[in-house]
Structure 1
Amino acid sequence: MLALRLTLESFRFAWQALKSNLLRTILSLLGVTVGIFAIIAVFAVVDSLEANVRQSMNFVGDKVIYVDKWPWVFDPKFPWWKFFNRPVPTVREYRLLQKTLGENSKGVAIFATNSGNTFKAGSNSMSGGLLQGVTYDFRKISDVPVMEGRYFTPQEIESARGVAVVGHEVAKNLFPNGSALGKVLKARGQRFVVIGVMEKAGKNVLGITGNDNNCIIPFGMFTKMFALNTGGMTGVTPSIGVKGSDADPGLLDLEYELKGVLRNIRGLKPRAEDNFSLNRPEMLANAISKLFSIIGVAGAVIGSFAMLVGGFGIANIMFVSVKERTNIIGIQKSLGAKNYFILFQFLFEAIFLCLLGGAAGIFLVFLITLIPQDSLPLTLSAANITLGLTVSVVIGMLAGIIPAVLASNLDPVIAIRSK
């Protein structure tokens, strides 16, 4: 109870001191406000940017391992020509993986993509479209958000029928006056009946339009239109995606099994190097995290200079406050006030001043997040709010500890005689 009473008394003295010098208080906390605003604004932008980039990469799927010729993240120690001489994934390997992989796999799909296509429907056309040939389990590998209509049936995939699931922009440009379902579009001379329309994705911070410009067709039809790469420089290179199980959170079991099956399929000897790459979305996510952590550290260093200026300003004001109230300190000590009571009184004043400045800086960041942003919506997380307030308390303690110690060690007789 005594500690609580002393704390409340110290808080009351600090509050009265701040109110009695309102203009000085406001000017003092401006430095802390600017510093906290700079730091938290940088972290908010970095966090929002990282979240937006990760969301932009949803097309690569979650809990998926991709079998490719090339790795997504290159090892500088590995000779490039060894990557170049690797074989590309084939339909035969896809079929064998489908039959061989056990319960660690929830789906296997082979797919290939060709860009820069022109789609036509009657007198309407659209250039720059993306044609994507997929097998049935592709929707397990990647996000295919069908808004209207349906996805492919296994029979449509196996028989390579001329059907398509199109993106929002494709449907809008080719069929502006009604629903695209059941309508016919042409791509590279082939006719496709639209059976599904995907949700609008819009442009993200990377400029990627998601599935908006896509036209997804059965893989068999795709191979009739484009020659697949068989290991050289020409043709479209397919990829194989394998969906992992929730019971294998790190996908380690699936990776070991997949590596063993692929080595067996390709007839690799026990000591031979892998001639394939097993890529995961986490590779890109880790690279992005490293990049944004560097940006965050750089922003924090820049913001810390503003906090340093604010801290010096608070310390200066606290020294002035001690000088002005020396007589009052002497009276308090002569009436029995302990040293720690005087110390807490000034230390709380410094911390409270910094907390006010920090809260004002966080509030300014919150106001910025309310501004509508299509490409990069900003969010202020609870972690950043906690960080801002914690930094404010630490700065208050560092800025106020020396003036508080000096005030608590004043001789009461000398302090009373001061003017």
Structure 2
Amino acid sequence: MFLTIRLVLESFAFAWQALRANLLRTILSLLGVTVGIFSIIAVFMVVDSLEANVRSSMNFLGDKVIYVGKWPWVFENNFPWWKYFNRPVPTMREFQQLQRMLPATSQSGVAIFVAKGGNTFKSDANSVSDCALQGVSYEYRNISSVPIEQGRYFTPQEMDGGRPVAIIGATIAENLYPQGEPVGRQFKTQGRYFTVIGVMKKEGKNLLGTPSNDANCIIPYGAFASIFAMSSTGMSGPSPSLGVKGRDDDPGLLNLEAEMQGDMRIIRGLKPREEDNFALNRPEMIASAIGKLFSVIGLAGAIIGSFAMLVGGFGIANIMFVSVRERTNIIGIQKSLGAKNYFILFQFLFEAVFLCLLGGATGIFLVWLITLIPQDSLALFLSAGNISLGLLVSVGIGVLAGIIPAVMAANLDPVIAIRAK
């Protein structure tokens, strides 16, 4: 063990001396590896950051939730849209029936919710437009995040009575009440007055522009239904959706999905041979499609970056061949003094690996500098996995580029090598 450590340290010492002796050549050799690692890791960093931002933008869909709606979220090829066009939308009656029929062992919350955009809110001389108005049942906070910063959530009595109370987003609060406490104040929308009982935390913009709580106003479902006419087919007016929160002890929510499908068929009176006239949607469907898309983008980026890495590897190999030729006499002297073949091999192999590690570390450092540039919509981050990948690729390129020159050096005849000039 001690001999191995000593061999490694001496090999690195020889490699370091050789690199210092030819500093300009070392720097030029580093450039190829640096550019290659920079290209690959930069692509992976951007892809990972994009995927993380996209997934973060989809957080409003909740986790471990199955939604009942009219349309599926992911369409297959040759999608027969006409079969779905006249489907009925979920109703309050179906929500109540599903809530009663689903066993507590398979779900931890059932909610109905509906939204309409393009609303204007007014309070005294202040107003804010293009905001969403969302009607929800009491259990809505079980399936979707409602991060309240000020005030409180609805009470069951407020929900059951459809009272004119509201939880507003940060953007609405800032515009309607720029100088004062929003909780307890009133605002008007769609000809009705509502009292603010809560304000949600500010979320800011996201990459996809998906719905944000900042410009969202949540009211009881009954109050929403009294304002807007909602048809049974969703052809006119807002279309409600149902959401059911699964349990942690149901991996993949397979039991919950089976229960929901059976109960919805019973609720809608479907015969055994009739197709479902509803869609069961899960956030994983979108997440899976997103994952496949970014995998393809990452693969394409890696292939493009590998060409730069290939050029850098050839540059390192060329430098190692030159290094062996320049130090042939020294190799002969080392062998005549008793140096083993593996010592000579490791000496040149470590030099190639060390050179590639320096170039790879420089490329990773340049990628890290990019993450320090302030970004509004896309926050870039360099993960530990990408750093490890960059260093491993550098080591791999060093081994591939240095193995043939190292073997040639190790197999030199000491008598011939010591006479070389």
Report the TM range for the smaller structure's normalisation: over 0.9
Matches of 1:331 and 1:232, distance apart in 2: 89
Structure 1 residue 270: Cα displacement? 2.0
Q: 1:284 aligns to what SS in structure 2?
A: helix
Q: 1:152 aligns to what SS in structure 2?
A: coil
2:133–2:217 Cα contact (<8 Å) kept: yes
Structure 1 residue 271: Cα displacement? 2.5
Structure 1 residue 224: Cα displacement? 1.0
- Cα deviations across residues 268-292 of structure 1 (Å, max 9, x unaligned)? 2222221111101111111111111
- Cα deviations across residues 169-208 of structure 1 (Å, max 9, x unaligned)? 1011111111111111111101100110001111011134
Structure 1 residue 106: Cα displacement? 0.7
Query: Is 1:253 the equivalent of 2:255?
Result: yes
Matches of 2:34 and 2:320, distance apart in 1: 17
Query: Could you tell me which residue of structure 1 aligns to residue 57 of structure 2?
Result: 56
Matches of 1:113 and 1:85, distance apart in 2: 20
* Aligned pair partner of 1:412 in 411, 414, 418: 414
Q: How does 1:218-297 map to 2 (within 5 A)?
A: 218-231=220-233, 233-297=235-299
Structure 1 residue 343: Cα displacement? 1.1
- Cα deviations across residues 356-399 of structure 1 (Å, max 9, x unaligned)? 11111111112222233232221111111110000000000111
1:202–1:209 Cα contact (<8 Å) kept: no
Q: Which amino acid aligns with 1:40?
A: I
Matches of 2:5 and 2:184, distance apart in 1: 75
Q: How does 1:333-352 map to 2 (within 5 A)?
A: 333-352=335-354
* Aligned pair partner of 1:317 in 308, 313, 319: 319
Query: Could you tell me which residue of structure 1 aligns to residue 76 of structure 2?
Result: 75
Q: 2:230 aligns to what SS in structure 1?
A: coil
Identity between Structure 1 and Structure 2 (%): 71
Query: Is 1:31 the equivalent of 2:35?
Result: no
Structure 1 residue 232: Cα displacement? 5.2
Structure 1 residue 43: Cα displacement? 0.8
1:64–1:141 Cα contact (<8 Å) kept: yes
Query: Could you tell me which residue of structure 2 aligns to residue 43 of structure 1?
Result: 44
1:229–1:238 Cα contact (<8 Å) kept: no
- Cα deviations across residues 234-262 of structure 1 (Å, max 9, x unaligned)? 12110000011111131111111111111
Q: How does 1:186-225 map to 2 (within 5 A)?
A: 186-208=188-210, 210-225=212-227
Name the stretch that deviates more: 286-295 or 7-16. Answer: 7-16
* Aligned pair partner of 2:355 in 344, 353, 356: 353
Q: How does 1:12-161 map to 2 (within 5 A)?
A: 12-102=13-103, 103-161=105-163
How many residues of Structure 1 are paired with residues of Structure 2 in the alignment?
419
Q: 2:218 aligns to what SS in structure 1?
A: strand
Q: 2:214 aligns to what SS in structure 1?
A: coil
Name the stretch that deviates more: 362-371 or 59-68. Answer: 362-371
Matches of 2:300 and 2:166, distance apart in 1: 47
Matches of 2:242 and 2:234, distance apart in 1: 18
Structure 1 residue 153: Cα displacement? 0.6
Name the stretch that deviates more: 203-212 or 375-384. Answer: 203-212
Query: Could you tell me which residue of structure 2 aligns to residue 389 of structure 1?
Result: 391
Q: 1:251 aligns to what SS in structure 2?
A: helix
2:60–2:211 Cα contact (<8 Å) kept: no
1:203–1:209 Cα contact (<8 Å) kept: no
Matches of 1:212 and 1:388, distance apart in 2: 39
In angstroms, what is the RMSD of aligned CA positions?
1.2
Query: Could you tell me which residue of structure 1 aligns to residue 376 of structure 2?
Result: 374
Matches of 1:299 and 1:77, distance apart in 2: 30
| Distance change >3 Å, CA 364–CA 126, structure 1 → 2 | same
1:29–1:354 Cα contact (<8 Å) kept: yes
Matches of 1:94 and 1:208, distance apart in 2: 26
Matches of 2:304 and 2:234, distance apart in 1: 50
Matches of 1:308 and 1:42, distance apart in 2: 16
Structure 1 residue 78: Cα displacement? 4.5
* Aligned pair partner of 1:183 in 181, 185, 189: 185
Structure 1 residue 134: Cα displacement? 0.4
> For structure 2, which runs of at least 5 residues remain unmatched after alignment?
none
Q: Which amino acid aligns with 2:165?
A: V
Structure 1 residue 77: Cα displacement? 4.6
Q: 2:251 aligns to what SS in structure 1?
A: coil
Name the stretch that deviates more: 356-365 or 229-238. Answer: 229-238
Q: Which amino acid aligns with 1:153?
A: T
1:113–1:131 Cα contact (<8 Å) kept: yes
Matches of 2:365 and 2:169, distance apart in 1: 40
Matches of 2:76 and 2:51, distance apart in 1: 24
1:201–1:209 Cα contact (<8 Å) kept: no
What's the TM-score once normalised by structure 1's chain length? 0.97
Matches of 1:394 and 1:41, distance apart in 2: 19
2:320–2:348 Cα contact (<8 Å) kept: yes
Q: Which amino acid aligns with 2:146?
A: V
2:168–2:218 Cα contact (<8 Å) kept: yes
2:133–2:216 Cα contact (<8 Å) kept: yes
